Structure 1
Amino acid sequence: MDKIAVVILNWNGIKLLEQFLPSVIQFSQGATIYVADNASTDDSIRFVQNNFPAIKIIKNSGNHGFAKGYNDALKDVNAEIYALVNSDIEVTENWLKPILKNFDIENKTAIIQPKILDFKNKEYFEYAGAAGGFIDKYGYPFCRGRIFDTIEKDNGQYDDNCEIFWASGACFFIRKRVYDELGGFDESFFAHQEEIDLCWRALNAGHTIKYNSDSVVYHVGGATLQQGNPKKTYLNFRNSLLMMVKNLPKKGLFFIIFFRMILDGIAGIRFLTQGKIKHTLAILHAHFSFYSLSMIYLKKRGNFQIQKYYTIKSVVFIYYIKKLVFFKEIFNRNQNIKN
């Protein structure tokens, strides 16, 4: 069994592979590198075979999205640690060493995220993950270094090694045994928030999730679905509700989901006032889809749910009403984050 496998999920991403594979190969000594292809129709596979013959290729049967794409691919990967890396990630020298050290000395640590900076503006954190993720009581995700659309400059304020609630799927390290124990990603999510769901299930199972700033990567972000894409809005809102049904503690479950849906409605009205009608319709579509799936997801609940899953009660209230837009401001008001 390999110590670590770097697995890059690809779909019609030949240009991204051309740009970013060289850094992965250069700085991933000792790792076995895979490209897991979701039935691309471009020349991605031929390009990798011709230019990087040492890379192992896994051919999935179709474009099954992030969740099933990785679940299918990882059946063919035998390594102690999986490094799941987006095709639009540039890695840096020694990016694997601090992660592997973490896993070696911390048996309870199951998932780790590196520092994720913006490839296009390397002094700033990147939207998808930044310096580690958390959620509020109503399931809204946010990060150290990014709350909603406010992105912080990296001034070393998060140069630490701390526990977090969720790690970004853009660059996601997980022990194979934990991935198998949890059954991998929830395939019905297709894409978006499946990594938060997996992390929540890991926490419910007694595992620990960490952020390690000694490992640094740069992420383009939005290479598959741009932030303004209504499909992304649909998937984020639907999957967030499904994730909550599966993982929230039983006490207050229905009230929290009901209140979250009210907040979603307010978000839909806000989109409407901005002229973003497609996004309002995407939220409505997400809610109707949630109604049809909610009973199925109630049956997916595990035997145990952690009670203290959230850092703050409402990041929406703090951000939009209190006008606190930086994580450190919130942290100073809420001293219940584990460091």
Structure 2
Amino acid sequence: MENLYFPAVSIITVNYNGVRFLAGLFDSLSRLDYPAEKIEIIMVDNNSSDDSCEFVSRKYPNVKIIRSDKNKGYAGGNNAGFRIARGEYIALINNDCTVEKQWLSGLVKTLLQQGATLKAGAAGSKVLFFYSYLLLEFNTGGMPLLVNDFIINNGEKCGKLGVCGPQENLCRSIRFISKCSPASRSSDGTVTSWTLNDGAVIAVPIADENNDIALTMEISNSADIAGELAVSLGEKERKARIFSGQAQPEVSKIRLEIQKKYFDYKVDLVNSCGIEINRSFYARDRGADAVDAGQYNTADEIFAPSGSSLLISRRMLDETGFFESSFFTYYEDVDLFWRARLKGWKVFFCPESVARHHHCGTGVEWSPLFTYHVLKNRMITIFRCGWCGIFTRSYFAFIASAALAAAGCLRQAFHSKRCSRPDIPVRLRIIFEFFYLMPKNLISRIRIRSTKRIPDSEIKKFMTVF
């Protein structure tokens, strides 16, 4: 770095049955352009049943391993790492990530530069999806298209779409970018089929740049007659048609052959460039699923960094405290950085720091467990950190939406129709749990709100519309 000051950094990753990802992570950490003697690497293992600990002990003896006797989740696992970390700064990286050479030096440089004049507490990376992608546009002649059972090359048939998958099940890494909507879900809440409207765009991962891609899928249209279907590869003025045919009312199978000569059309997709919030304090990843075209190449101040890749000042943790361990996973980053902001700490985005993320590599997005933790932890975060009005409005809006959804399902059941809303029991459970969760978190709320150093108007500045 320009000032040649390299503070000691502890890098923490939390692992649960993620052995298939660990070589990629630790190999990439070994290639950082940061002095190795200034780096401490800690892996917190959440009682994995695979051979993660044995693998790391054997292949990466420099990694300190903390073995938990139970799965403490993201929050509890990182808190265990915080307690033994010796660094002036602490980096967190998901176990299903790999990092680029300047990942750490970029984060440290950002905090040192911003900290010269501001109370800089954390910096977040540009997190891209692990694979590069090819964009496919479906022109359906105005008729919606139902698609499912994707297969890439000779991999497994994909029953859960838009999640993430290792190389042997690449179809799970397909991204549904625009004009796509879930058509059906499995009993655990994951999407099993999609509706593609005219002009829909999906992104297909490239795992092997030396071989062509064959994408097979089952399709049907919503009309009583066959409709024209054209599939183009690329974006804007740079497109190549790779399929022309018909979509029948009956289910049929099509195969798209993508030759490797088209791989120079590939793009990187953003997973997260930080966390943004709306007026109801729902959080989302900034830039998610956007093509990385340089639009996120400025070191902006952000509300919070993505929990998948960030650097935190030890001084900030000492003042703010650790993650709320009762959260297990999801919204713990929003909670921590809301608390930090109330104490005057600032958070920045660092575009020079790049990580690649499989995303839900050891979890299932929108499974009942995922839904439970996201919705419950959002409400607890608002109760602990927020002003009275936002919690009251959010809680009663949550009750109303759950009641309307339950009533809709009852109407469908009355007409002998199947209701595919596995989230409704989860929402009802959260409503009743809050009768004891609010008293349980009341002391935390009093402490957080009574010690805040900035007005809530400073938090409201980060609220956007989505």
Q: Is the 8 A contact 1:138 1:260 kept in 2?
A: no
Q: Residues 56 and 159 from structure 1, CA distance in 2 versus in 1: closer, same or farther, beyond 3 angstroms? A: same
Aligned length: 309
1:4 aligns with 2:149: no
Structure 1 distance, partners of 2:102, 2:444, is 39
2:293 match: secondary structure? coil
Q: CA deviation at 1:210?
A: 0.8
SS in 2 for 1:74: helix
Letter in 2 for 1:103: L
**What's the offset of the Cα at 1:84?**
0.8
Normalized per residue, the structure richer in strand is 2
Matched, 1:124 2:269: yes
Superimposed CA distance per residue, residues 38-87 of structure 1 (whole angstroms, 9 cap, x where no aligned partner): 22222111111111112222222321111111112221111111111110
- Per the TM alignment, residue 259 of structure 1 is displaced from its structure 2 partner at its CA by 2.9
Deviates more, 1:31-40 or 1:161-170: 31-40
1:115 to 119, 126, 132: 126
Within the candidate set 72, 90, 102, 1:94 is matched to 102
Q: Tell me by how many angstroms 1:220 deviates.
A: 0.5
Runs of at least 5 residues in structure 2 that lack an aligned partner in the other structure: 1-5, 134-267, 413-417
Alpha-carbon distance in structure 1 between the residues aligned to 2:396 and 2:423: 20
Residue in 1 aligned with 2:27? 22
Mapping for residues 89-238 of structure 1, pairs under 5 Å: 89-107=97-115, 108-121=119-132, 123-126=268-271, 130-146=272-288, 151-238=289-376
The 1:4–1:267 alpha-carbon spacing in structure 2 relative to 1, beyond 3 Å, is: farther
Alpha-carbon separation, structure 2, partners of 1:43 and 1:59: 12
Q: 1:265 to 1:241 in 2, by over 3 A?
A: farther
Q: Is the 8 A contact 2:124 2:274 kept in 1?
A: yes
Corresponding position of 2:436: 292
Q: C-alpha separation between the residues in 2 aligned to 1:234 and 1:266?
A: 18
**Structure 2 CA distance for partners of 1:73 and 1:206, relative to 1, 3 Å:** same
* TM-score (structure 2 length as normaliser): 0.62
Q: Secondary structure at the match of 2:103?
A: coil
Unaligned runs of 5+ in 1: 320-339
Write out per-residue CA displacement over residues 234-273 of structure 1, whole angstroms, 9 at most, x where no aligned residue. 1000000000001112455423432344346567778998
Partner SS for 1:9? strand
Q: TM-score, normalised by structure 1?
A: 0.83
Pairwise CA distance, 1:311:
5.2
Q: Residue type of the partner of 2:14?
A: L
2:379·2:391 contact (CA, 8 Å) conserved in 1?
Answer: no
Bigger helix share? 1
Whole-angstrom CA distance in 2 between matches of 1:160 and 1:10: 31
Q: Quickly say closer, same or farther: Cα 1:2–1:211, change in 2 above 3 A.
A: closer
Matched position secondary structure for 1:58: strand
CA distance in structure 2 between the partners assigned to 1:179 and 1:269 by the alignment? 45
Partner Cα separation in structure 2 for residue 177 and residue 314 of structure 1: 29
Residues 331 and 377 in structure 2, CA contact (< 8 A), matched pair in contact too = yes
Question: Measured at CA, do residues 14 and 263 of structure 1 come closer, stay the same or move farther in structure 2, by a change above 3 Å?
Answer: same
Distance 2:382 2:354 in 1: 30
Aligned with residue 65 of structure 2, among 54, 57, 66: 57
Match of 1:41 among 49, 57, 61: 49
CA distance in 2, matches of 1:244, 1:22: 39
Structure ID, larger Rg: 2
How far 1:288 sits from its partner (Å)? 2.2
SS at match of 1:5: strand
Question: Offset at 1:99?
Answer: 1.0
Equivalent position of 1:329 in the other structure: none
State whether residues 138 and 314 of structure 1, in contact with CA within 8 Å, keep that contact through their aligned partners in structure 2: no
For the aligned residues, what is the CA RMSD?
2.5
Deviation at 1:226, TM superposition (A): 1.4
- 1:51-90 aligned at under 5 Å gives the runs 51-90=59-98
Percentage identity across aligned positions?
27
Counterparts in 2 of 1:268 and 1:236: CA distance versus 1, 3 Å: farther
